[in-house]
Amino acid sequence: MREDIWCLILLLPGAVFDAKTRRIPPVWVLWFGLTGLGLRAAEAVSAGSVRPYLVSYAPGLIPALLVVAAAFFTRGAVGTGDGLTLLSLSFWLTAGRLLTVLLLGLFLTAAAGAIRLFLRKAGKKTGLPFLPFLAAGLLIMLLGGG
């Protein structure tokens, strides 16, 4: 549980930066991913086996890589930084927890977009920063006991 709180603390600067500038700094994404990878590597070394970590965390790479691919094929409609952040997050959360956070983040983004459309504050093509909603999804999961 403690590492989940650290994950949220480390995710927050990226979420704030994304909300303010609609950009995600590559250095931050790299740092976020490497700290998670370092944590998993240290756990595997201390446990004496890599296999349990591969089974728990490697499947989380699949949705992250799909978001990166979506960024490529949509020519930026889906942000590359969002996909790379999700890839970094896959080192912090097990696959099931990552999928939960991703789905919560997508739901919150869709709800915010629908509200903005309803209030006529945005058009159909108006983009929303995703990291604040991803961080909110992680917070909801943590508060829900997940």
Nearest CA among 55, 67, 128, 53 for reference residue 101: 67
Residues in the chain: 146
Sign of the torsion angle spanned by Cα atoms 38, 96, 29, 54: positive
pLDDT tens per residue, range 8-28: 999 999 999 999 999 999 999
Phi-psi region of 76 (alpha: psi -120 to 50; beta: other; left: phi over 0): left
Q: What are the domain boundaries of the chain?
A: 2-143
| pLDDT at site 146 | 67
Residue with tokens 């991703």: 102
Give the C-alpha separation, 45 to 36, whole Å. Answer: 14
Residue with tokens 């920063």: 129
pLDDT tens per residue, range 43-80: 889 988 888 888 889 899 999 999 999 999 988 788 89
Chain mean pLDDT for the chain: 91
